[in-house]
Amino acid sequence: MGLTLNSVRLGGPFLLRTVDPPLSACEDKTVREIRRIGKRIAIGLESDLWLVLHLMIAGRLHWTKPNAKLPGKRGLASFDFDTGSILLTEAGTQRRASLHVVAGESGLRSVDPGGLEVLGVEPSAFARTLRSRNHTLKRALTDPRLFSGIGNAYSDEILHHAGLSPIVWTERLTDTQVEKLYRSIQEVLGQWVGRLQYERAGKFPEKVTAFRPEMAVHGKYKQPCPVCGTKVQRIRYASNETNYCPTCQTGGKLLADRALSRLLGSDWPRTLEELESKLSGSPG
């Protein structure tokens, strides 16, 4: 905070998703505040302007020397200050990261999906939100309109901690299961927030990743579950996957494996919505 944003350089036309206010209005403005809006990073500037970044899966931020050159095809933007530049890069070719320029609290609300902030929320409010729509549990936890900022990786860790299947329907959960899920969210996310804050203390968060060696199941396909030793399994869809332990979470039942996904080919669900449709037997 307190630094002046001298300029914003874009590496291509696809990152910026808004035209009013113009990006140029943010130049020569002092940074006043930084917020999290769901999984977005909001940088508040003078004149009540906000730069709102969504890194998606492959986006990364890097602190480097002032006015550093954008790194080839991976470089999406540079936010230039007197003391250094923040480079935004994205691996792959999909270009899913986004930048919005908005004005005031109303502008921030326009990019906020509205999900419930889960850390410290009352159990009754959590239960009402969870049961407000009938989804599979994995989809409910990762729906930003229901819950803010949980995401794919931490939903796997939460469900494993709670001993719940990712495809159980929310309307079928007992009060005991909902209470257990609530406690797991508070414990798992609380532990990870503390761990990451400790690791990043005084340093720019360069190596942000959803795959951490300390995780129990996420990214641990075919590795032993730390609780029971069963090999972790997965459901794959598009660029995401759900990891789970059959023994701890599904009563020994395999929900899907790589061979099944390959066999079904294009019929295998690409999104959580399609997966739900197949599980319910509806045409989608």
Residue extents of the structural domains in the chain? 4-110, 123-280
Kindly state the tokens that stand for 81. 């200050």
- pLDDT one-digit tens code per residue, 69-118: 998 888 999 999 999 999 999 887 778 899 999 999 999 999 999 999 99
Provide the percentage of residues in the chain whose pLDDT is more than 70. Answer: 85
**Which of 122, 143, 128 has its CA nearest to residue 173?**
128
Contact 249, 165 (CB under 8 A): yes
pTM for this structure? 0.83
When the pLDDT of each residue in the chain is averaged and rounded to a whole number, the result is: 87
CA angle (189 as vertex; 187, 191 as ends), nearest 5: 65
- pLDDT one-digit tens code per residue, 185-237: 999 999 988 887 777 766 776 666 666 888 999 999 999 999 999 999 988 87
Q: Which CATH class is domain 123-280?
A: mainly alpha
| CATH fold of 4-110 | N-terminal domain of MutM-like DNA repair proteins (3.20.190)
Q: How many CA atoms lie within 13 A of 105 on its CB side?
A: 0
